[in-house]
Amino acid sequence: MKKSAVIAAALVLVAAAYSGASWYVGMKSEHMIRDALDRANARIVSAMGPDLEAHRVRIDVSEYRRGVFSTHARYTVTIADRDDTAEFGITDHMQHGPFPWAQVRQGSFEPLLAYSRSQLVDTEAVKRWFDAARGAMPLEIATRIRFGGVGESQWVFAPLEWAADDERLSFSGGRIDLQFSNEMRDSEARGDFASLVVRDAGGSETVALKDIVLRSRSTTAADETMQTHATLEAASLLIADMSDDDVTVEKIRATLESSQKGALVDATLRYDFDRVRVGEIDLGSVTLGGRVNQFNYEAFSALVAEYDAIADEHGAAEGEDFELTEDDNARLYARLVPVLASSPAIALQPVQWRNDKGESSLALSAAFQAIPPAAQPGLDALPVQALRELRFEMILSRAMFLQAFAQTGADEAERQQLEMVAAMLFDQYVDSLEEQGLVQRDGDRAHLVIVYADNGVDVNGQVMSLEEFLLLFSDFLI
């Protein structure tokens, strides 16, 4: 056999082998992508609740044409609420591995399952977005998927400028870098955006964020426990109107920590504002936070859905009050039982306000307990039956209060006068509360701790019945 014939035959065999490998890799890529979308939809249901029909988010494969060396796909993201439904389309051209041609042309010979480039589809739902991009593609996505479900994706957002009848928007554009692993079950992302500015049509009201950074990390353990850590940071926030009292916030941080196993969620949300100014008044720093533990979101969503169904049956508009019947109470009670079965706890904490002179804080927490499924008392009696403990704690700094109050003065003389008024008000009310046993003095701080449990109340270490506490509190108010 001639040497040229041998080479030609070898090339044919190599081409056939590579075609088969590419077809097989394309099939594996499709299975991995569909599995990832199924998990994403399951996570959305877990987060929003399966019975919250008023609010739905879903990602679907609306088209998937797989060839030997490449695939054309289209994905649809549907977002629905009670009044409207919006669909966003993303078109994707994917080159199969093991050596996608687009990567080879760039000098990369790394074996890949797939390399894809995706774009937002110009539909009615995003027409304003395309108009605001002024000829650029609003969103482009480049993704590399390696073997083992490892890879990375870059999401590039174009700058936007739009003017509608009632608002103006200016967005710098930016980028999100996403890395995923563990069969696309774990991910880590960072997004950077220089600015976002929203104004009303007349320019009299403005909200502006600068130097925005988004970070997130999500992992899934072997027992399907999902853990998420996400932060949003911004160098500054400006809320301005025609008055001189613009609100300026420096160094904003929002942090979310959550862990979910099955239907139960533990989550903590915290906001930190390093410096808050209203006009020329420096209010110092503020921290706001909250948390939930052992919270059955699926059961809670079913409770909300049941209430909405009852409201519809009564013909009540959203937010409109109506009288519950005995049957309505029984239906709501049946839905409430699984919500409380996990003994959930919720808290508003920390709430902290700090300035140069001191710090004040507030915390409110409630721990619940399971209720019997058979009994059906009136819903008015449920707080006593379901509440295991309610705790309220407040610390108020006298020096901090005086400085905050005095800053509202127009000049030094007025500020001194306001500080004296603030001192008189603080001492008068705190002294009266101390006489009633409702607060304790600790230096220049007023401290109050109230704990309700077992139908009794502990006020700063003084135990009394609920009736005695209510009588004491009512006497003070009178």
The domain locations on the chain are 263-478
**Which pLDDT score is estimated for 9?**
43
**Which pLDDT score is estimated for 8?**
44
**Which pLDDT score is estimated for 378?**
57
CA-atom Rg of the chain in angstroms:
30
What stretches in the chain show pLDDT beneath 50?
A: 1, 5-15, 18, 52-54
**Which pLDDT score is estimated for 81?**
67
User: Which residues, listed in sequence order, are joined to residue 355 by a DSSP beta bridge?
Assistant: 358
Among candidate residues 128, 194, 125, the one with its CA nearest the CA of residue 166: 128
**Which pLDDT score is estimated for 11?**
42
- Contacts of residue 428, defined as CB under 8 A and 6 or more positions apart, other chains included, come to none
Q: Are 194 and 161 in contact (CB under 8 A)?
A: no
**Which pLDDT score is estimated for 315?**
86
440 vs 433: CA distance, rounded Å: 8
83 vs 182: CA distance, rounded Å: 38
User: What is the value of pTM for the model shown?
Assistant: 0.84
| Measured CA angle at 320 (ends 314, 323), to 5 deg | 50
Identity (one letter) of the amino acid at 143?
A: T
